[in-house]
């Protein structure tokens, strides 16, 4: 049995079974916060820089204090090290959580106290910042190997929304994921494994947990983040590696018909890495000649 790990942003390694959230933490009552999910492989968290950059961008979008990237980087290294010491080579799922903190200041808040026995700094309305490492779900290995059946589903808004309504936080990885989880249950009810959202104009957006990549020969295509999707760290690392390895990369809008006609379509994310779409809206996608080339490119990209 994998032993989960809990580390505060200050680097304190805590007993993972001891609660660290207050009942009125804004993460719990409003989903008011942000997160990141990183893969721990061979004792090392992957693509740390891009994850920390996105954590900072997400914080900015939510008017949260800028996260201390150096502190986070140290906490990440500690989490990965302790995970490997406890669980050997097993892949780990590391989740960074950064919430706005408590809704109300504790009655005895002032003056702010020093670290208490849990190693946490207790202050009124201080942000809540910690990370956990746990086992990667069995599903990840399965979908990397077998691919996924996907349906498209309307997200219900235009590609313009991100620009005209910044409060929708479309480019931020926020803790408010209830609709994403609902979309995945909807897919499961239809016998599908995942969803690709479409805009009200019918453009391809993203999956609830991953970025869409089309492969045509040695050309990779992904939709632009400006249309209201999250900029994926895996996609960014992938395109950087692809440029080095002589693949072409393009960022432009796609329609579902472009996916159906594509040589192959992939969902990429930090944890599941490269997952091929084997069926889209009930249509069987043809198997590309060398799917392993793309998977290997993603593996190289994450270092
Ligand atoms: C996390 C996430 C992704 C994938 O991002 P990675 O950084 O590659 O893991 C894509 N879309 C959404 C909505 C996400 O939450």
Q: What percent of the chain has pLDDT over 90?
A: 92
Which tens digit of pLDDT belongs to each residue from 126-149?
899 999 999 999 999 999 999 999
Contacts (Cβ under 8 Å, ≥6 apart) of 270: 37, 38, 39, 46, 47, 51, 233, 234, 302
For residue 45, report the phi and psi dihedrals to the nearest 5 degrees. Answer: -75, 140
Is the pLDDT at 110 greater than 60, yes or no? Answer: no
Strand, coil or helix: 38: strand
Q: What is the full DSSP assignment across 249-260?
A: EEE----HHHHH
d(CA 109, CA 111): 6
Q: Which residue's CA is the nearest one to ligand 1's atom 4?
A: 210
pLDDT of residue 107: 64
CA dihedral of 251, 165, 35, 20, whole degrees rounded to 10: 180
Q: If you ran DSSP here, which 8-state letter would residue 227 be given?
A: G
d(CA 84, CA 76): 12
Which token pair is 221? 């295509």
pLDDT of residue 126: 87
pLDDT of residue 121: 46
Q: How confident is the model at residue 227 (pLDDT cuts 50, 70, 90)?
A: very high
Is the pLDDT at 289 greater than 80, yes or no? Answer: yes
Most informative mutation of 45, 177, 270 for ligand 1 (most atoms within 8 A of CB): 270
Residues 250 and 242 sit within 8 Å (Cβ to Cβ): no
The atom of ligand 1 lying closest to the CA of 206 is: 11
User: For the chain, what is the total number of helices (H) and then of strands (E)?
Assistant: 9, 14
Residues 152 and 31 sit within 8 Å (Cβ to Cβ): no
pLDDT of residue 125: 63
Is the pLDDT at 122 greater than 50, yes or no? Answer: no
d(CA 6, CA 16): 5
The atom of ligand 1 lying closest to the CA of 36 is: 1
Most informative mutation of 162, 175, 211 for ligand 1 (most atoms within 8 A of CB): 211
Predicted structure pTM score: 0.93
Q: What percent of the chain has pLDDT over 70?
A: 93
Q: How confident is the model at residue 116 (pLDDT cuts 50, 70, 90)?
A: low
How far is residue 192 from each of residues 19, 44, 139, 196, measured CA to CA in Å?
35, 33, 14, 11
Distance 210 CA to ligand 1 centre (A): 5
């Amino acid at each position: 049995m994998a032993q989960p790990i809990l580390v505060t942003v200050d680097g304190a390694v805590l007993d993972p079974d001891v609660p660290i959230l207050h009942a009125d933490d804004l993460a719990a009552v409003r989903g008011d916060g942000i997160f990141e999910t990183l893969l721990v492989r061979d004792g090392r968290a992957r693509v740390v820089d891009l994850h920390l950059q996105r954590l900072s961008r997400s914080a900015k979008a939510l008017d949260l204090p800028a996260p201390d990237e150096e502190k986070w980087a140290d906490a990440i290294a500690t989490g990965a090290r302790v995970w490997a010491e406890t669980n050997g080579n097993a892949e780990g799922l590391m989740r960074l959580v950064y919430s706005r903190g408590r809704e109300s200041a504790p009655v005895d808040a002032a003056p702010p106290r020093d670290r208490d026995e849990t190693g946490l700094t207790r202050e009124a309305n201080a942000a809540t910042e910690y990370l956990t490492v746990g086992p990667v779900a069995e599903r990840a290995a399965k979908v990397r190997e077998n691919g996924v059946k996907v349906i498209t589903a309307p997200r219900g808004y235009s590609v313009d929304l991100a620009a005209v309504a910044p409060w929708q936080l479309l480019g931020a990885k926020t803790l408010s994921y209830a609709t994403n989880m609902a979309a995945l249950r909807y897919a499961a009810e239809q016998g599908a494994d995942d969803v690709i959202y479409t805009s009200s104009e019918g453009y391809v957006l993203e999956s609830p947990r991953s970025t869409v990549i089309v492969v045509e020969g040695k050309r990779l295509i992904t939709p632009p983040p400006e249309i209201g999707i999250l900029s994926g760290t895996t996609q960014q690392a992938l395109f950087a590696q692809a440029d080095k390895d002589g693949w072409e990369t393009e960022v432009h809008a796609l329609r579902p018909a472009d996916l159906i006609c594509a040589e192959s379509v992939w969902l990429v994310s930090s944890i599941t890495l490269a997952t091929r779409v084997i069926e889209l809206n009930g249509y069987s996608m043809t198997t590309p000649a060398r799917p392993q080339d793309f998977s290997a490119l993603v593996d190289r990209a994450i270092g």
